[in-house]
Amino acid sequence: MYYTYILYSKKLNRFYIGSTSNLQSRLEAHNSGTVPYTKMGTPWKLVYYEAFVEKSDAIREERFLKTGKGRDRRKYLLKSYLEKRN
């Protein structure tokens, strides 16, 4: 399985979108500070993920969620989470 995931850093008040074949290991890497892009925002909380059979589909979804239309979809997917956060 391959995963597209969204993390949230309360410290930075930012989301991070990625894809991986091992979600648990990747989350641990983000929170241990070994991922340069996310080390300043630890701890990261997993707020959403999708599972895919094909790696190419997970990467395509990751890229889409990083676009303008993808931003709208993120707001839709995380509506309840965003409301609780405010």
Q: How far is CA 26 from CA 47, 69, 86, in A?
A: 14, 26, 27
The answer to whether the beta carbons of residues 1 and 51 sit under 8 Å apart is yes
Q: For the domain that residue 55 is a member of, what is the CATH number? A: 3.40.1440
Q: What is the pLDDT of residue 80?
A: 84
CA–CA separation, 30 and 7 (whole Å): 9
Q: What is the pLDDT of residue 43?
A: 96
The model's pLDDT over 29-85, given as tens digits with 9 standing for 90+, comes to 999 999 999 999 999 999 999 999 999 999 999 999 999 999 999 989 898 887 777
Expressed as residue numbers, the domain containing 30 is 2-85
Quote the pTM value.
0.91
Instruction: Pull the structure tokens for residue 22.
Output: 């091992």
Instruction: Pull the structure tokens for residue 57.
Output: 């589909």
For the chain, the domain total comes to: 1
> Residue 86 pLDDT more than 90?
no
